[in-house]
Copies of this chain bind each other. A is one copy, B any other.
Amino acid sequence: MNIAILLYEKMTALDAIGPYEVLSRLPDANVVFTAERAGLVTTDTGFLRLDAQRSLADVTDVDLLLVPGGPGDRAVRDNPTVLEWIRRVNESTRYTTSVCTGSLILGAAGLLKGLRATSHWTQLEVLREYGAEPTGERVVEQGKIVTAAGVSAGIDMALRLVSTLVGDEFAQGLQLGIEYDPQPPFDTGAPEKAPAPIVALVRAAMTY
């Protein structure tokens, strides 16, 4: 199982690392972090750098592609080299997946036409520009194209993929292994649950 995780400048680290922590523990997983150019990629906060072991040109055989989101998604959506690579590897993937605004990148690559898809809740309407039908669901499976909502949703998506790929018991074991028994201190993780002033503040901060 060759898993490729796309890295790019100003991506959000947890979008990639959440699902990576689950998917990398699949039997026979072989994970490659890849970027347009191999080397260090600086994430959106500016504090953390992740290492892309290989350039996109050197990654051709991908069973599962994961595209994270983050404020850098806009530049990627304008980058024909990356979009062409996504289209090319998608031809033979078993799953092509995204987290957060990674779905906008899949959209820009032309992979979401006529499909239901999700994204970070502040960016859902942008999906329409790419012919997709936005939905606020946390994980949306449309055949082999699977999109997850904002940032932390990638963990839930990865566990669902593992249950499909290997089975429920293996996925349950991984969930227990990462002790994923969430106990957030508040119940404000979705716009329909958070107080309106907080929704407005976050929307203002994250619309770019």
Please list the residues of chain A having a beta carbon within 8 angstroms of any beta carbon in chain B: 12-14, 17-18, 20-21, 24-25, 29-33, 40, 45, 47-51, 53, 100, 120-121, 138-139, 149-153, 155-156, 159-160, 163, 168-169, 171-173, 175-191, 193-195, 197-199, 201-202, 205-206
- How far apart are the CA atoms of A159 and B188 in the complex, in Å? 11
Q: Would you list the 8 A-B pairs with minimal beta carbon distance, nearest first?
A: A150-B179, A181-B189, A182-B182, A49-B51, A31-B47, A14-B21, A151-B178, A181-B190
Most buried by B among A156, A181, A191, A205: A181
**Contact A185 B163, beta carbon cutoff 8 Å:** yes
**Residues in B whose Cβ lies below 8 Å from that of A13:** 17, 20-21
- A180's partner among B45, B51, B151 (CB-CB below 8 A) is B151
**Contact B184 A182, beta carbon cutoff 8 Å:** yes
**Residues in B whose Cβ lies below 8 Å from that of A171:** 185-186
**Contact A198 B186, beta carbon cutoff 8 Å:** no
- A24's partner among B33, B47, B206 (CB-CB below 8 A) is B47
**Contact A188 B202, beta carbon cutoff 8 Å:** no
A33-B47, A150-B177, A152-B182 given; name 17 further pairs at CB < 8 Å.
A12-B21, A13-B21, A14-B17, A14-B178, A24-B48, A120-B179, A121-B179, A152-B178, A153-B179, A156-B183, A156-B184, A169-B197, A172-B194, A175-B186, A176-B189, A181-B187, A181-B190
**Contact B202 A186, beta carbon cutoff 8 Å:** no
Given the contacts A45-B25, A47-B31, A169-B198, A177 and B155 also touching, CB distance less than 8 Å: no
Closest to A174 in B: B202
**Contact A176 B188, beta carbon cutoff 8 Å:** yes
Given the contacts A17-B14, A51-B48, A185-B159, A190 and B199 also touching, CB distance less than 8 Å: no
**Contact A31 B17, beta carbon cutoff 8 Å:** no
- 24 residue pairs A–B, Cβ–Cβ below 8 Å: A14-B20, A20-B47, A24-B47, A24-B48, A49-B53, A50-B51, A100-B179, A120-B179, A149-B181, A150-B177, A150-B178, A151-B177, A151-B179, A152-B179, A156-B184, A156-B185, A159-B184, A168-B186, A171-B186, A173-B188, A173-B202, A176-B188, A176-B194, A176-B202
